[in-house]
Amino acid sequence: MDAFFASVELLRYPQLKGLPVVIGGARRAVDEALRAAQGERALRFIPVADFPRLKDYVGRGVITTASYAARQFGVGSAMGLMKAARLCPQAIVLPVDFDEIRRFSRLFKRTIAEIAPLVQDRGVDEVYIDFTDVPGGQREGGRVLARLIQKSIFQATGLTCSVGVAPNKLLAKMASEFDKPNGISVLHEADLQSRIWPLACRKINGIGPKADEKLAALGIHTIGELAAQDRQFLVARFGKSTGAWMHEVAWGRDSSPVVMESEPVSMSRETTFERDLHAVRDKAELGAIFTRLCEQVAADLQRKGYVAKTIGLKLRYDDFRSVTRDQTLAVATDDGRAIRKAAGQCLKRVPLAQRLRLLGVRAGALAKFESTGVNASSQAATPTALSQAATDLTTNTTASLF
């Protein structure tokens, strides 16, 4: 989907069309800022630089999506809002409306599935589609079907998307970047040398800043240069698995299928505080946040029907270094109290002298919850037990750990 989060907001507020719009920041914080500026959200829009004491409101926010007009100013996703304000003071900032995003996400995916049923999820705004067995899927190299999908999505949602059609997922993903927004690119195997090899290695899905830097240090900048390397040379420098993979993808080879279903590996909740907190001085506040995160993870597990065998803790210090600790349980659980206890054990193994900016709780080693067996989690899953657990957590357990 093209500039998905921003495009969804433009549907609601068409008067913003063509203007630089950035989506990001905490919803509560941005709403508060809008109120403080005495702007009715639907009527008046506040440029990012007009926010009173902007830093207090959105200082820790990052941009999830920038409209194409905003991108002209060098503003892009993952950039801090403070930096965006400097680059483009007239940009209009709106909070992420996750409910609305999920609604449009489901809508566009359903629209695709009605046309081509074999669809793999790749997050809220992206999918892989297998054209192989779709009637007419091969006409004009897939362009006809791509056009139909584009048109149907636009009719259902009013949103545009960009489509890449290729012999495999690796190449399709790269092709989808060729003609944005609202474009279709068809890439054939024979186009590898002319259209893929001139691209930077960084364009490969899976080669990030670190690998790119390492490749650059070896004098390898383009995918063609990567393809020219001896496989053994890459294996020696990047390891057996990554080295071999790099050689494969440089030659446009990817045999991974489009898969509809996959089991989750972990579920987590984390939060960055509005200000850095200290384990001793802000004990009560941290304890309450910690408990809430554990309860959220427990609720997520229960809602989706999973139990976790390992519980993990993550924290990030004020200097942005982060540490993690894991604890494996004797019995898998989805109970808030058990998660809180295990995460509390993890917390004891971590240095707490430095101020914290983030706290997170993770449930891993998941298994489908079997309702037939009798275990601790099935008992704890009753509403009464849960609310009791919540009470216990906030009153007792919390205070002692920080």
Residues marked as catalytic: 126
State which of residues 15, 138, 205, 232 lies at the interface with DNA (CB under 7 A). Answer: 205
* Closest CB 240 distance from DNA, rounded Å: 6
State which of residues 152, 272, 375, 378 lies at the interface with DNA (CB under 7 A). Answer: 272
Query: Would you tell me how many other CB atoms lie within 10 Å of the CB of residue 345?
Result: 14
In the chain, what is the straight-line distance between the N-terminal and C-terminal CA atoms, in Å?
44
**Among residues 248 and 392, whose Cβ is nearest to DNA?**
248
Q: Is 83 in the site for DNA (CB under 7 A)?
A: yes
Q: Is 218 in the site for DNA (CB under 7 A)?
A: no
- Separation CA 61–CA 95 (nearest Å): 10
Q: Is 239 in the site for DNA (CB under 7 A)?
A: yes
* Closest CB 164 distance from DNA, rounded Å: 11
Torsion angle of C-alpha atoms 200, 203, 205, 206, degrees rounded to 10? 40
State which of residues 42, 43, 78, 374 lies at the interface with DNA (CB under 7 A). Answer: 78
Q: Is 124 in the site for DNA (CB under 7 A)?
A: yes
Q: Is 326 in the site for DNA (CB under 7 A)?
A: yes
Q: Is 269 in the site for DNA (CB under 7 A)?
A: yes
**Among residues 236 and 399, whose Cβ is nearest to DNA?**
236
**Among residues 38 and 321, whose Cβ is nearest to DNA?**
321
Q: Is 160 in the site for DNA (CB under 7 A)?
A: no
Part in contact with DNA (CB under 7 A); list of ranges 27-35, 110-118, 139-147, 206-214: 206-214
* Residues at the interface with DNA (CB under 7 A): 55, 59-62, 64, 77-78, 80, 82-83, 122-126, 173, 204-212, 239-242, 264-272, 300, 309-310, 319-320, 322-328, 346, 349, 357-358, 360, 365
